[in-house]
Amino acid sequence: MADAAAIAGGRLDTFPKLLVRNAIVRGGKPAMREKDLGIWQTWTWSEVLDEVKTFALGLQDLGFERGDTCAVIGANRPRLYWTIAAVQALGGTPVPVYADAIAEELAYVLEHADVAFAVAEDQEQVDKVLSVGDRLKSLRHMVYDEPRGLEKYDHTRLHSFEAIQTKGRESLRTDQTAEVRFFDEIEQGKGSDISIILYTSGTTGRSKGVMLSAERCIAAATDTAVFDHLSDADEVLAYLPLAWVGDHYLNYAQGMVAGFCMACPESGETAQHDLREIGPTFYFAPPRVFEGLLTRVMIRMEDASAIKRKMFHYFIDVAKRYGEDILDKRPVPLVGRLLYGLGNALVYGPLKNVLGFSRIRTAYTAGEAIGPDLFSFYRSLGLNLKQLYGQTEAFLYVTAQEDGHVRSDTVGPAAPNVEIRISETGEVLFKSPGMFIGYFKNDEATKGTVDDEGWVHTGDAGFFDHDGQLKIIDRAKDVGKLVDGTLFAPKYIENKLKFFPNVKEAVAFGDGRDFSTVFLNIDLNAVGNWAERNNISYASYQELAGHPQVYEMLQSNVDKVNRDLAHESAMAGAQIHRFLILHKELDADDGELTRTQKVRRSFIAERYGPLIEALYDGSSEKFIETEVTFEDGRKGRIAATVQIRDMTVYPAVEEVKEAAE
């Protein structure tokens, strides 16, 4: 005989149990919102529990059994989150799928996870599933949230969410045991149960289903919730893909643990506007979002009146000088504080307001390297933006930066209760409270990732910086060594170079060589503008790329990078000794880039072999002829003599002054 109180009193090792707890301790507080029909429809924790209860019971009527897997396909909609909870309550395993997955990917996941049920957002998703229906032997029933356009479909194995919930209410009304049955199901749930299976968007080969256990998820979420002082006073906007670990962790898991309120935007397009309305207190976005936002800000300011523009840039400059110090509570001259205060009234405050950042206490970014200027722009506005490093296998957090100790080029120290080790190959290994159980139906992959001592191999290379913060430098497999054995991380060097607006692409070489060298691609827009402003005339990309002054400019950039590297014990040896500027733009049509604009190092190495040789044989210039594909697909050859520059190399500086940054 289970009831809510008993569960709430007992061990809270599954999300449904947490849900019950929340419904009891903060039943009246908002748990979820969705922008719908013009207002933020809101559900309190107890209402959410009821929704989940009715839906779960409805599913049971439909024959859902403990151990069944249920696909959840769609964008961030409350009902889809309730589905996750309901499935977990019945001892099943939810399998979220990316809404934008093409039918093929969808089919693979649903088949691989042999889902018995699928809950889809709308007609579009339903159609997708139906289109591959014949392959889904185990699929028994499908449920949809948004009925529009589905009236005329055959409803023998297709049900509307309402219909299911009505069933649930029915049984609640008719038989008294229903309620108890529901709570029994929850109570039967064990911490060791698989709470969810998240499919990693596989960069290599088929995507793998990461199995996460309830107790570990909760353990991890609890740690970070404490780490960031999250409470039920917080509000978040759930706009990241439902099937991505980030969303499940930051919104669902932490929400259940801390009991804060999750808001779902009206639609993808309105997310930005909804963000502004909700004004979340905890926020996550990948670097490119912040970057896009910054560009839009600058573009819009261009249309502002001259005075306003001047004021804006003046105070942004003030912020650059004092902002971050004030944010990190470092000493700041009074003048600085006053100016900053004024700027806050005139620019930062309003700006954060229109961006929807006013109430943010903690914001994270992760996933890729973020440009230092970009990063400090937001921080200087007083936005507490931090970096974390994580993985689906770790249930997100591996490292996270603490308030006040934030840098753009590190990802912070190990998160609470996380152990990190750097293997001799330089790969980052970890053990964390949230770490996964294994890959679903894929043991050898699991073995490949978790070694006998239980360390999870991230596949990323990194090292701890002097202040104990982890620095991720590259995918481990891409990291090589110079002849003298120093670490050579091409991506790391390339990123440092690419943060300069003039540099479009950079390709670094050095594995098994005496020193590292780079190819550079100029950014035609940036350099072109610069050329116009300094009335430097040029007839072609090639001419501009070869222009002495351009070389000067990029040389100074490379020099800056070397200085930086010199400060990083581990990387000092990998400073750039020689570089050249390619006479043509690296192009996917020529197979030099992937379609996703990533450099194909090996291909380039072999295609521009002579140039690489030249970089290492000390010659100061080199003639090269390469085949190119033009817009119209015609093939042609272009030839050029490429200049090569030598760089000064700096002695490694051991102890570092922040000031030097």
Contact set with other proteins (CB under 8 A)? 30, 33, 36-42, 151, 235, 266, 269-270, 276-279, 297, 300-301, 303-305, 308, 311-312, 345-347, 349-359
Nearer to other proteins, 26 or 140 (CB): 26
Nearer to other proteins, 308 or 421 (CB): 308
Least gap, CB of 384 to other proteins (angstroms): 15
**635-641, long-range: CB within 8 Å, 24+ apart, which pairs?**
638/542, 638/583, 638/584, 640/542, 640/546, 640/583, 640/584, 641/546
The b-or-e profile of 135-172 (16+ CB within 10 A means b, else e) is ebeebebbbbbbeeebeeeeeeebbbbbbbbebbbebb
Whether residue 91 contacts residue 183, with contact meaning beta carbons closer than 8 Å, is answered with: no
Nearer to other proteins, 303 or 484 (CB): 303
Least gap, CB of 52 to other proteins (angstroms): 20
Nearer to other proteins, 3 or 47 (CB): 47
Least gap, CB of 152 to other proteins (angstroms): 8
Least gap, CB of 385 to other proteins (angstroms): 16
Least gap, CB of 347 to other proteins (angstroms): 6
Least gap, CB of 32 to other proteins (angstroms): 11
Tokens 């909870």, located at residue: 85
Nearer to other proteins, 178 or 237 (CB): 237
**Two structure tokens written together for 134:** 């014949």
Nearer to other proteins, 301 or 649 (CB): 301
Beta bridge partners of 96: 72
Sequence letter at residue 407: R
Nearer to other proteins, 267 or 594 (CB): 267
Least gap, CB of 314 to other proteins (angstroms): 12
| Rounded CA separation 287/142 (Å) | 36
Least gap, CB of 40 to other proteins (angstroms): 5
Nearer to other proteins, 42 or 542 (CB): 42
Q: How far is CA 649 from CA 296, 437, 554, 653, in A?
A: 38, 47, 16, 12
**Other C-beta atoms lying within 10 Å of the C-beta of residue 233:** 13
Least gap, CB of 301 to other proteins (angstroms): 7
Q: Of 521, 513, 616, nearest to 574 (Cα)?
A: 513
> Is residue 45 left, alpha or beta, with left meaning phi > 0 and alpha meaning psi from -120 to 50?
alpha
Nearer to other proteins, 168 or 265 (CB): 265
Nearer to other proteins, 280 or 413 (CB): 280
Q: How far from chain centre, in Å, is Cα 550?
A: 35
**438-445, long-range: CB within 8 Å, 24+ apart, which pairs?**
438/211, 439/208, 439/209, 439/210, 439/211, 440/112, 440/113, 440/197, 440/208, 440/209, 440/210, 440/211, 441/112, 441/209, 442/208, 442/209, 445/208
Nearer to other proteins, 333 or 350 (CB): 350
Least gap, CB of 227 to other proteins (angstroms): 24
Q: Of 477, 483, 500, nearest to 491 (Cα)?
A: 477
Nearer to other proteins, 40 or 603 (CB): 40
Whether residue 369 contacts residue 495, with contact meaning beta carbons closer than 8 Å, is answered with: yes
Structure letter (DSSP) for residue 578: E
Helix (H) or strand (E) holding 462: strand 456-464
| Rounded CA separation 130/78 (Å) | 23
Whether residue 77 contacts residue 238, with contact meaning beta carbons closer than 8 Å, is answered with: no
**Two structure tokens written together for 48:** 């959410």
Least gap, CB of 356 to other proteins (angstroms): 5
Whether residue 236 contacts residue 283, with contact meaning beta carbons closer than 8 Å, is answered with: yes
| Rounded CA separation 560/557 (Å) | 5
